[in-house]
Amino acid sequence: MSNILINNSKATDELRQEAVNSCPFGAIELQAGKLVINAGCRMCRMCVKKFPDIFEFQETAVEKIDKSQWQGIAVAAELTEKNDLHPVTLELLGKARELAAKINQKVIAWIAGFQVDAAVDVLLSYGADEVVVYDDAELKYFRIEPFTAALEDFINFRHPAVVLVGGTSTGRLLAPRAAARFRTGLTADCTVLDIKPDTDLEQIRPAFGGNIMAHINTPNHRPQFATVRYKIFPFPEKAAGSHGVRIDRHLSVEQLKSAITVELAEPLPEEQGIEEAQVIIAAGKGVKRKEDLKMLEELADMLHGQVAGTRCIIEAGWLDHKKQIGLSGRTVAPKLIICCGVSGSVQFAAGMKGAEKIIAINTDPEASIFKIAHIGIVGDIYEIIPALLEQIRQKGSL
């Protein structure tokens, strides 16, 4: 940790005002005639360079953590409305097995809910060495307070080095609250995870609009939290000869309390999201008008797939936000994706890198999408898609 100390006794009224005006982030203020630094400070130390008699940079010693006290890769399991495991849980479990093998530690699953025996059996069959279970009627529905209390109790009980959480609506509520309780780091929407021999987690995610890949470490705090979206990691095989154990834990009445009361719970209508689609026709900036999506929808219908879009298509209001592919949308891994007029930004590419076959159509031969496409067609979608539709109508197949 670092601080900037202020020696107000050496500052005249003129220097104080000059210091306030000099900060590019507006982090220096005057309060009761004295200089103070607010939360806007970026530690650029410009004030220290300009006014060395008034401002002093102080580096404080970083407190080291005993990493030997934190062992194992934990996965926070998530249940669906039907009390089944969300697929992202098993994807994370597969990744946890890979990480744990590198450091010769256990894979531990945490699960909270009501009547979760079947889900526990699935976790064990996919290679969890331990499953720590919180099974209580008060945990039937997700409510942030008791679920956070359950995860906090688990971490205090098991001391895992790493906690992996699904990047779902539930996981995005749970992970930051739990991380805050342990005053530790959390990296959201990781696309790559690796681990060092000392159990430091290598967390990689796109940053600055996808222009760079940020490598994030949390060397002095435990546990290390990371969220990962559905379809980022491959679905694992079941573990051969699994011999994991179940450990039941219980929360107090006080810990199970919540300000939220569930009066009625009705299941959402079932619909197949683009995450589940085996064929996707992706629309990009090359689509000029909303009406032109009809030819892509016709192609999707013929191939029993779905139409999705890049960020510009969604922001134009041409498709529902649930149809957006990319790190600011959904992650997909279809058997086939046909990218129509898609440039291929880093954010979009990260959201569909798991596709088995990528076909790209773009008028720009230098488009980034061609770097990842298995088949690239330099051409106009307004010529190629109608011709393809006509061929399918005539022959009944590609």
What's the first-to-final CA gap in the chain, in angstroms?
61
User: Is the pLDDT confidence value at 396 over 90?
Assistant: no
> What would the pLDDT profile of 242-268 be if each residue is shown by its tens digit?
789 999 999 999 999 999 999 988 887
Q: Are 66 and 99 in contact (CB under 8 A)?
A: no
Same domain, 157 and 239: yes
- 27 shares its domain with 121: no
For the domain that residue 342 is a member of, what is the CATH number? Answer: 3.40.50.1220
Would you say residue 254 lies in a domain?
no
Query: Would you say residue 331 has pLDDT above 80?
Result: yes
> Rounded to an integer, what distance in angstroms lies between the CA atom of residue 9 and that of residue 18?
15
User: Whole-model pTM?
Assistant: 0.80
pLDDT value of residue 265: 86
User: For 195-213, how does the pLDDT look when each residue is reduced to its tens digit (9 = 90+)?
Assistant: 999 999 999 988 876 677 8
DSSP annotation of 239: P
Say if residue 219 is in the same domain as residue 155.
yes
395 pLDDT band (50/70/90 cuts)? confident
pLDDT in tens, 291-312: 999 999 999 999 999 999 999 9
Query: In this structure, is residue 267 part of a structural domain?
Result: no
Range of the domain at 317: 279-395
Average pLDDT of the chain?
A: 93
Q: Classify burial at 159, counting beta carbons within 10 Å of its beta carbon; exposed 0-12, middle 13-18, buried 19 or more.
A: middle
What pLDDT sits at residue 398? 54
> Is 111 inside any structural domain?
yes
Report the C-alpha gap between 320 and 317 in whole angstroms: 7
CATH of the domain at 126: 3.40.50.620
User: Which residue's structure tokens are 């330099």?
Assistant: 378
Domain-embedded: residue 257 = no
